[in-house]
Amino acid sequence: MSEVLIVPHPSPQNCSKYFILLSGIDSPLSIYSDALPYWGIIDLDSPDPVILMNPMLALVDTSLWGNNTYGKIGMSFYAATDLRSDASRLVFVSVNYKVFRFRIDDNGLAYDNYYFELPNVNIDQYGLRAEMEIANLPNGTYRLAVPYLKNGTTSSLLIASLDAQGNLTASHVFDFEKEGSETIPYIHGLEFSPSGGYLYLTHQTNSLHPNPLEFIDLQNLNNGVQPLNVPNAADYQFSQIERGTNGKLYFAGQSGTSNTADRLSTLSNSDSPTNNTTWINTNWVNSALSVSYQASYRGLPSTTPYESFKSYTLPDQIDGEDYFAHFTATQECCRQSQIYTIDSYTVSAYNSTWEPGNNPFTSLIGNDTIITVKSKLVVPALRSLTLKNMRIEFAPEAILIVEKGPSWGFPGIPSHGGKLFLDNSTLTIDRRCGNARWQGVEVRGWRTQPQNYLSASNKQGYLQMNNSKIEYAQIGVLAASRAPNGAINSFDTLQTGGIVRAFDSDFYQNTMDAYFLNYVTPGGISNQSRFNNCKFTIINNGDWNNINPQPFMRFRMRDVMGINLYGCDFSNDGLLSQYAIFSHNSRFGLMGLCTNLNTPCTMDWSSVSGFSMGVYATSPILNASRNNYISYTIFKSNQRGVYWLNQLNSSVVKSDFQIPTTSGNYGLYIDRSTKFKVTENYFHSNTDNAAIGVIANNTDTEHNEIYKNDFENLIFGVLAQKINGTIYANFNVSKGLKILCNRFLNNITKADIAVSSGRIDYQQGVFTQYPAHNQFSYTENGAYDIFNCDNCQGIDYKYNPNIANHEPIEYTMNTVNVDDFLNYNGPVCPSKVKFGPGMWGRQKSLTASYDSIVDHLNSGLLDSLQIAQLTMERNELLLDIIRHAQFEIEDSAAQAEFYSMGMERLDSLRDDLARWMQYDFAISSGKFQKADSILHSMGFSIPSANTDLATYAVGKPIHQTAGFLYSLIAKRLAERDTAFSLANIEGAVDYLADDSRDTLDIYYGLGLKMYFNDSIYFSDIEDINMERSIKQKSSNTKEEFLHLIPNPSRGVFQLNTNLHIQSIEVQNLQGVKVKTVMTNTGNTSQVDLTQLPAGIYICSFLNENQVLAKQKVVIIH
């Protein structure tokens, strides 16, 4: 053979396979049979590897090959590129005057329909024992060195420049001639330096070419061939040259004229050669390795005339290729080539404990704590496994499964699911294959079965972690099963309900730490999964976070109820777009952990730090059983602390929001949510403030309070947008958002309280009952205490003049009326956070609260329905959406999952589906009372299975792709006048979601916005133009005062003021002037309004038609 080319298979699924290219004899029994290029594949995983060689001639038109080569003295040469970006290699074959290009990829080896001819050849190509080499240049192009015979007296070397596709772009030829009867200086060895800038060669010698070891500077070809004067250079003239993975060039050296090489010599730093003796002594190692290597004559005699066929062949033909590294070139190759303690293992003992020196694998690992798993570890039903002080390392894509219990059950006979206990143990990735992720732990369950982890008949899989760790997983803990197709975002939601209880444990560097989905316990009681004093951590750790899928959220819940986290810490260090808790249509708690039984107890606060979103909680509709409770939690350096969307009865209490100062950041955003509790929290930033404390957006017309919180160093303390209260009719029915008992402590640069659009409760404080009790910051430089936009509904603000900083000084003149509450002597801002005595009392209080919510599920649904009935004239589109997308409009995968689940488990879903179908039909028929009664009654008739199936059949195609939804919206909106003014469908959806006149539009248009935004939606923070509003400075400052007393009265008021008032204009709440009173006083006068009916009026005090002050008066008869 002249040379052998060994090429690793480029496919990750074939990492044990290699392509072999060499010159072969078509008929080995005949000495005259021609040598031709052959190729084959060897599989090292085969128990008896056999190479079936194939002639390359069969891949190319025979007319292109020219004459066949001549028996055993014929020649062909081979060279292959490094692996290219398209996972292919180019292979060049030199034979019979031509260089042909082939390609190796996943499909095998094929001719690439390209060749070029060797220049000025006038002799058949035979008798040359050499090699062909290729250099992969940094710019993506190639350089090829091709030996050939130009004529009967000349051995030549072609230096070919190739572009990135392997096409010839330029060439240069070096000739090695002879004189008379001298030996032709046949080339035997060729090799490029690592950069491709130098080419080294060995050749036989004669008088014209006396130096057997030489090099060429390929950047300066005019310098020609230069000698490399190493010791005993003649010993290497028959040696091929190869470059190893260490960058060194290897030469086979013989002693004298023998036919045996006794050493391998090496040359280092081949990119900077000189003939300086010091350089040679530094970089040349004469005997790097002792060998006994017989020269090859290709089966020919070692006598005349075959002396030139002598060669020391070195078969490693891809320069620098680490052929052992090929076993770990991909994750799958690495996985297949490693040795593991376990391939796939199913626990068989009913109760077993694995610990160092005492586990089923002690004979393999001794007392080691590490067990490695290649594919999976399974804890089946009826089995219990405890891992104590162990470390389990999983190969990439390996998995640990805790199976659900059997479908059967008999009294007194255990039928529990698998149980896994981690005690001071770690589940992690096997790092021998580089940065990768294993799948994580699946805790499987029965969606229709209850949870009772203490019972021997608990059919749910169970995982308990004590002082343990799960790291580098795709999903640390999944309380479900992946779908059969194995996709990371595809789950079998019939196997939900697994129980996970973690104490003092860590979840580290997982794509997602925990995922609970699609499980509501029968009877609606809380999920028994819980997390105490756990850490959920993701850090910017280079390549680990570039592994797909990339980290996105730490803790995810979808359609689950009652998962609680106590004293847990969520931390993100440097990664963008990270969510700590992502909840959809779920109920959960994030709370502090009571660490003792004292009263009050010592509280270990939860924390959420460094995320783009701390808590993101959404629901498709308001639902009293799907909410969240957050208390004793520190939110630090999160761009957005908490975002609520369609949350009913949710709470944030006694928490600390440390908000970064970037514009648009906030502590809490309350969006389309109502009946919430926000109290005794601290919202603050540093002095460079551009953040907002609390934003209330479209919180509806229910009574809501932002109560007894502290705000400091912010741009706005509380910002209200859109509809957050009723249209004012009279003070007896006024409802909406009240902002009470808050302390705006320092440096609120634009407004302590701001209403940018719409309305809040007209009464801030309640007439004759209590003042608002807010303490204002009195920030200078133009900041407002209360800003209410010019187009907003007015605010009547009651304050307590007996407490410092409770009187608003700076407020908008036309839309805020300020009154003192002189005679108030009631309680001042009592706490509304109710806990029982001690830890157990508090826990009982919380449990009772949640149980109460569950008990009143139907009334909560009724409330949502009554809200939805406000305006029904534009609901054709929305009814279709409700009917077919009520539960799973979050994302397309979720929708497909819901309908496939319904087809498989129709019985378990029938009640819910029937309820929604019937009340939807009642709504669409305008029979609202009937709809109410349906929700109050749980005993309505069940539609037939055919009706259910038909509904699924309609719903499924609507939600398979977003295109169907776009088409549906376009069709419906085409019939509406508003559609003609909309630029696109997204605009139409925005119109639906933001139109506060129709609550159904808000809820379901918003659902579609979530769909279009890949299930993540945020309402905007409105821009506020404060410059257009007229600022009122309170009349009760030290410089000016004005009082009307008593107020309320029977119509006669005493006016005390130091302002010069010429007249008083009296308007009703509709802005209609009902009376003008002329006066001319600087101090005291009487104002008689007894002729006006009882009610509330606004008095404007004028001087020369300029309004000096305004005040509300109340007349009672």
Phi, psi for 418 (deg, rounded to 5): -60, 150
Q: Where in the chain is the domain with CATH 2.120.10?
A: 3-325
pLDDT at 28 over 90: no
d(CA 751, CA 615) in angstroms, rounded, equals 26
Of the candidates 52, 26, 28, the one whose C-alpha atom is nearest the C-alpha of residue 39 is: 52
pLDDT tens, 304-329? 667 777 888 886 566 666 666 666 66
d(CA 1050, CA 1092) in angstroms, rounded, equals 10
d(CA 430, CA 339) in angstroms, rounded, equals 11
The pLDDT of residue 779: 87
Residue 344 CA to its chain's centroid (Å): 30
Asked if 734 and 745 touch (Cβ cutoff 8 Å), the reply is: no
H-helix segments, 5-81: none
Q: Where in the chain is the domain with CATH 2.60.40?
A: 1042-1115
Q: Token pair 């704590």 is at which residue? A: 369
Q: Say whether 1024 sits in a helix, a strand or coil.
A: coil
pLDDT tens, 166-225? 999 999 999 999 998 898 999 999 999 999 999 999 999 999 999 999 999 999 999 999
Of the candidates 73, 177, 77, the one whose C-alpha atom is nearest the C-alpha of residue 127 is: 73
**How do beta strands 1073-1081 and 1042-1045 pair?**
unpaired
For 305, residues 6+ apart whose C-beta sits below 8 A from its C-beta are: none
More confident residue, 258 or 31: 258
CB atoms closer than 10 angstroms to residue 319:
24
Phi, psi for 130 (deg, rounded to 5): -140, -160
d(CA 1049, CA 40) in angstroms, rounded, equals 107
> CATH class for domain 1042-1115?
mainly beta
The strands making up 154-162's β-sheet, listed across from edge to edge, are 133-136, 142-151, 154-162, 168-176
d(CA 143, CA 937) in angstroms, rounded, equals 83
The strands making up 35-43's β-sheet, listed across from edge to edge, are 4-8, 17-25, 35-43, 54-55
CATH of domain 3-325: 2.120.10
Q: Token pair 């270990």 is at which residue? A: 604
Structure tokens at 419: 């149980």
pLDDT tens, 432-470? 887 889 999 999 999 999 998 888 889 999 999 999 999
Amino acid 394 reads F
Structure tokens at 301: 């005699």
State the average pLDDT for the chain.
Answer: 80
pLDDT at 637 over 90: yes
Task: Tell me which H or E stretch contains 1031.
Answer: strand 1031-1033
Of the candidates 740, 682, 693, the one whose C-alpha atom is nearest the C-alpha of residue 716 is: 693
State percent of the chain over pLDDT 90: 49
Asked if 707 and 775 touch (Cβ cutoff 8 Å), the reply is: no
Phi, psi for 952 (deg, rounded to 5): -60, -40
For 583, residues 6+ apart whose C-beta sits below 8 A from its C-beta are: 556, 557, 558, 615, 616, 617, 618, 628
The pLDDT of residue 319: 65
Burial class (CB in 10 A: 0-12, 13-18, 19+), 545: middle
d(CA 1113, CA 1043) in angstroms, rounded, equals 11
Asked if 958 and 885 touch (Cβ cutoff 8 Å), the reply is: yes
Asked if 638 and 614 touch (Cβ cutoff 8 Å), the reply is: yes
Asked if 79 and 317 touch (Cβ cutoff 8 Å), the reply is: yes
DSSP state for residue 602 in the 8-state scheme: P
d(CA 176, CA 150) in angstroms, rounded, equals 10
Q: How confident is the model at residue 1038 (pLDDT cuts 50, 70, 90)?
A: very low
Residue 584 CA to its chain's centroid (Å): 16
Residue 1065 CA to its chain's centroid (Å): 61
291: alpha, beta or left? (left if phi > 0; alpha if psi -120 to 50): beta
The residues that bridge with 260 in the sheet, in sequence order, are: 294
In 610-659, which ranges are E strands? Answer: 613-618, 628-631, 633-636, 640-645, 651-653, 656-658
CB atoms closer than 10 angstroms to residue 670:
27
Average pLDDT value for residue range 19-25: 82
Of the candidates 501, 532, 626, 591, the one whose C-alpha atom is nearest the C-alpha of residue 842 is: 591
Q: Token pair 């009642």 is at which residue? A: 922
Helices and strands of the chain, counted as H and E runs: 13, 75
pLDDT at 1010 over 90: no
The pLDDT of residue 1001: 42
CB atoms closer than 10 angstroms to residue 426:
20
The pLDDT of residue 982: 33
d(CA 306, CA 303) in angstroms, rounded, equals 6
Of the candidates 976, 861, 987, the one whose C-alpha atom is nearest the C-alpha of residue 919 is: 861
Structure tokens at 401: 């499964």
pLDDT at 353 over 80: yes
The pLDDT of residue 1083: 64
The pLDDT of residue 624: 86
Task: Tell me which H or E stretch contains 1073.
Answer: strand 1073-1081
pTM: 0.64
pLDDT at 895 over 60: no
Q: Sign of the CA dihedral 226, 230, 236, 241?
A: negative
pLDDT tens, 803-829? 889 999 999 988 999 998 877 888 889
pLDDT at 149 over 60: yes
pLDDT tens, 870-882? 222 233 333 333 3
d(CA 871, CA 1088) in angstroms, rounded, equals 44
Question: What torsion, rounded to 10 degrees, do the Cα atoms 49, 50, 56, 58 define?
Answer: -130
d(CA 918, CA 935) in angstroms, rounded, equals 9
The pLDDT of residue 489: 67
pLDDT tens, 257-266? 888 999 999 9
Phi, psi for 628 (deg, rounded to 5): -145, 155
Asked if 173 and 146 touch (Cβ cutoff 8 Å), the reply is: no
d(CA 667, CA 640) in angstroms, rounded, equals 6
The residues that bridge with 758 in the sheet, in sequence order, are: none
879: alpha, beta or left? (left if phi > 0; alpha if psi -120 to 50): alpha
Q: Say whether 183 sits in a helix, a strand or coil.
A: coil
Amino acid 667 reads G
pLDDT at 776 over 80: yes
pLDDT at 857 over 60: no
Of the candidates 1079, 1117, 1083, the one whose C-alpha atom is nearest the C-alpha of residue 1099 is: 1079
Q: Token pair 């139907």 is at which residue? A: 858
Q: Sign of the CA dihedral 109, 111, 117, 122?
A: positive
Burial of 807-816, coded b for 16+ CB within 10 Å and e otherwise, reads bbbbbbbebb
Q: Token pair 């706490």 is at which residue? A: 831
pLDDT at 85 over 80: yes
3-state SS of 988-1001? Answer: HHHHHHHCCCCHHH
Burial of 47-78, coded b for 16+ CB within 10 Å and e otherwise, reads eeeeeeebebbeebeeeebeebbeebbbbbbb
Average pLDDT value for residue range 525-541: 92
